[in-house]
Amino acid sequence: MNRESDHYKKRGVDYEVPPFMPTLPRKYYQSESIYQEELEKIFYRRWIMACREEEIAEPRQYLTIPVGDESVIVTRGDDGRIYGHFNVCRHRGTRICDKERGRFESDSIKCPYHAWRYDLSGALQVAPLMKEGAGFQKSDFHLFPVHIGLWGGFVFINLSEEPVLFEEELAPLIGKFEAWGLQNLRIAHELNYTLNCNWKIILQNYQECYHCPGVHPLLSKWTPFRGAVHDCIKGAVIGGHMELRDQVGGMTMDGGPAGPPLCNVTGDDLKRVHYYSVFPNLLLSPHPDFVLYHRIRSEGINRIRNDCFFLLHPDSIRDAERMDRFQSAVKFWDMTNREDWKVCEQMQLGLKSRRFKHGRYSEQEDILYALDREVLTALGHEDGY
């Protein structure tokens, strides 16, 4: 929000910014009932990044996506369309798919218990021995649908019956990273982490670099921490960029580029690392030479699964020499991620203290106040402080 140079109002902030910005009260990290409320009002209501389109490139491929206590089947029909379904049979409630990913053998989804069969769009095809008539209409037993949103090769899902408009929610991103050709990029590498902290702590950690000098010596060398500029400062999409220092070519162990610039990336973007969070579970970071993103899955009030992916152009992925060089970026981010996870877990532990009510953000962290407000607004706790 960059309080020193700009006025909040000018940049679309329509709430009163208090002179001393408090952090979220500790109960937002400790209360099981607030966590349940978050599942209901955020994870089961907002747009959740599920996967990349390439992961279900072929018809009948599917993924099962855990969202809180729910499980969602995301699959591609023989018509090429992507469908989402609650992973629960309408007959007696059996979970249908038990694997993380797979491919249906036919154009149908079959419950393993009593063999009810649905087509890939979720319509009930066969319920053995159930006669259709006054008492039973197959059309009443469609798999519960999950809404699908597509952007830049990402598949988003929304579990609510009347979702907020996808294009409105993601508006600040649409058209923003055209130069990267996101849609055409493919997963080059994946890192998987399990963390013992609340999901919000990771989002906060991602949006401020006040911690960088102490926590990330190498990152701070490549991108000076006071160079952070936020241009999205309210709503579901929040973020900005940092500048690579002169002579520094990329976020790698040696500060050289990980490869050539992506697609049409030019000008200022050749020296910028972007950091955007798409509330509540995507952290997106276009670099000049690759795109990094984190997919966050909340598995409990103090536990998350975080999968970190690197996207490259398929030509680069096929190029062994380039991929070899690219490992330097993977190594750099794996190291930097772990530096973050450590302090995020320490924060979760500290917030167990009943003596601590809430803290206070510095000027360097003012964007977190916007992030916290997005949480409170989603929960309907506008007066949560």
Residues in contact with a second copy by CB under 8 A are 19-20, 23, 26, 44, 69-71, 86-96, 98, 110, 112-115, 127-130, 135-136, 141, 144, 159, 210-211, 213-215, 342-343, 346-347, 349-356, 358-364
Shortest distance (Å) from residue 228 CB to a second copy = 13
Query: Min. distance of Cβ 351 from a second copy in angstroms?
Result: 5
In whole angstroms, how close is the CB of 50 to a second copy at the nearest point?
16
Neighbours of 279 (CB within 10 A): 19
The Cα–Cα gap between 153 and 339 comes to: 29
If the CB atoms of residues 237 and 368 are measured against a second copy, the closer one turns out to be 368
CB of 384 to a second copy, least distance (A): 16
Q: Which helix (H) or strand (E) holds 83?
A: strand 82-86
CA distances from 341 to 190, 203, 225, 281, 303 (A): 17, 12, 19, 16, 12
Q: Which is nearer to a second copy, 151 or 369 (CB)?
A: 369
**Which CB atom, from 11 or from 358, has the smaller least distance to a second copy?**
358
Q: Nearest distance from residue 160's CB to a second copy, in Å?
A: 10
The pair of three-digit structure tokens given for residue 67, joined into one six-digit string: 């969202």
Would you say 110 or 272 has its CB closer to a second copy?
A: 110
Please, what is the minimum distance in Å from the beta carbon of residue 96 to a second copy? 7
Q: Among residues 200 and 313, whose Cβ is nearest to a second copy?
A: 200
Give CA–CA dist 281/285, Å, rounded.
13
Of the candidates 154, 136, 39, the residue with the CA atom closest to the CA atom of residue 90? 136
Which CB atom, from 69 or from 268, has the smaller least distance to a second copy?
A: 69
What's the sign of the alpha-carbon dihedral 261, 265, 268, 269?
negative
CA distances from 210 to 204, 239, 350, 362, 365 (A): 11, 15, 19, 8, 7
